[in-house]
Amino acid sequence: MVPAARYAAAIEVLDRITAGARAPIALRDWGRSNRFAGSGDRRAIGDIVHDVLRHWWSSAQAGGAETGRGRVLGLLRLTDVDPETVFTGVGHAPAVLDEAERDFPVADASDVPDFVEPMLRARFSEDFSNLIDAMRSRAPLDLRANLLKADRDQARAALAADGIDVEDVALSTTALRAPTGDRRIVRSAAYLDGLVELQDASSQAVVDFAQPKRGERILDYCTGAGGKALPLAARAAGPVDVHDIAPARMRDLPERAARAGVTLRALSTDALAGKHWDLVFADAPCSGSGSWRRDPEGKIRLTPQSLADVQSAQTDVLDACAPLVAPGGRLIYATCSLLPAENEEAVAAFLLRTSGWKLLRNVSLTPLDGGDGFFAAWLEHA
């Protein structure tokens, strides 16, 4: 496909997303209906779609319409690509621009939901504009050195042997950054042998913050796909108990654990009763606002009600984890969120309603720090 035809395909996909289809489904369905498109074409179309999602509101303003065509037009303008080179009407390219579309409206949208913007402005004040600009960019491709098999230097050397050059990331002593879009990673010996795992540097940093130690009893309460359980086990050099209220989310974990060489013991909710751990790590459900570069669709689907729902889930997680922490132990509450309502305010509310706990410290990271947005609080059980 020529580049202009890829933009035309992206317009089709974006119209389906606007109508309510989830982005992965809309992209998959387009691919199935257009089997002439090669893998490179599908990737390029996906990149255009996700770039529009990152500029969801500003692209509509710059393009003059809340349609796939309007948003693609707006994206081209916002990224300094001449729309006349794409909207040619030749072959499978989008139709030529009409007179109304040749006007260039001013785009001043912040590309976050209207009800979220005041929260972010209040939290980040003079950094707000820079944060928004960072969130419009593509997320980096980060790797984690698996300390059970290699330190960062050894992992870097193993990747170099596969022709993959990476650089250190200051956020964590295990973090490496590869060229964005390098699809050789998952085929490399370093990855297949478990020396490295794909993981954002900020996500690694919150595991570092928890300071897992050898010999500790550790529970990862909201395990999901295991993004925290694996590095917890690697840093502690021992087994980690894992739990998720929806066990199906952990279905791929045995394979990942085997590749990493770690021991994870899955426990049902009933099996947690009466047991205690030195470290309980709770990567709670959240808005995902810290990872909107990776999942920009998340911001266009977030509503006041869905935010209220995850806040309620966070309350439940904190209250469920508290009795599981041994005396003198710690609860690490973490979210991939930039919103104080899910972070500092959630912790403050927990301390007000729960006796015998104190906040020792917390950490708050944003894309301006070089990774995803993450928050973590160290809560200690007296």
Confidence of residue 107 (pLDDT cuts 50, 70, 90): confident
Q: Is the pLDDT of residue 181 over 80?
A: no
pLDDT value, residue 225: 93
Confidence of residue 80 (pLDDT cuts 50, 70, 90): very high
The mean predicted confidence, pLDDT, of the chain is: 95
pLDDT mean over 322-342: 97
Measure the CA–CA gap between 7 and 28, rounded to whole angstroms: 16
Domain 141-198 grouped into CATH 3.40.50.450: no
The contacts found for 300-304 with CB under 8 angstroms, 24 or more apart, are 300/53, 300/56, 300/113, 302/113, 302/116, 303/113, 304/115
Give pTM, 2 decimals: 0.94
Q: Is residue 244 annotated as involved in ligand binding?
A: yes
Name the least confident of 103-107, 211-215, 331-335.
103-107
How far, in whole angstroms, is CA 355 from its chain's centroid? Answer: 33
Domain ranges of the chain: 3-104, 141-198, 206-381
pLDDT mean over 201-214: 98
Measure the CA–CA gap between 217 and 200, rounded to whole angstroms: 25
Confidence of residue 123 (pLDDT cuts 50, 70, 90): very high
Residues of the chain with pLDDT > 90: what percent? 93
pLDDT value, residue 28: 94
Measure the CA–CA gap between 64 and 75, rounded to whole angstroms: 11
Measure the CA–CA gap between 68 and 15, rounded to whole angstroms: 5
Confidence of residue 183 (pLDDT cuts 50, 70, 90): confident
- Joined together, the tokens standing for residue 283 give 């990567």
What does 331-366 look like in DSSP terms, one character per residue? EEEEES---GGGTHHHHHHHHHH-TTEEEEEEEEE-
pLDDT value, residue 27: 96
pLDDT one-digit tens code per residue, 255-314: 999 999 999 999 999 999 999 999 999 999 999 999 999 999 999 999 999 999 999 999
Q: Is the pLDDT of residue 205 over 80?
A: yes
Q: Is residue 283 annotated as involved in ligand binding?
A: yes
pLDDT mean over 50-58: 97
Instruction: Report the topology of domain 206-381.
Output: Rossmann fold (3.40.50)
pLDDT value, residue 310: 98
Quick check: 183 and 189 in contact, CB under 8 A?
Answer: no
Q: Is the pLDDT of residue 374 over 80?
A: yes
Which of the following is catalytic: 222, 286, 321, 336?
336
pLDDT one-digit tens code per residue, 126-169: 999 999 999 999 999 999 999 999 999 999 999 999 999 999 99
pLDDT value, residue 50: 97
Q: Do domains 141-198 and 206-381 have the same CATH topology?
A: no
pLDDT value, residue 61: 95
Quick check: 189 and 355 in contact, CB under 8 A?
Answer: no
How far, in whole angstroms, is CA 282 from its chain's centroid? Answer: 16
Confidence of residue 369 (pLDDT cuts 50, 70, 90): very high
Query: Active-site residue 336, yes or no?
Result: yes
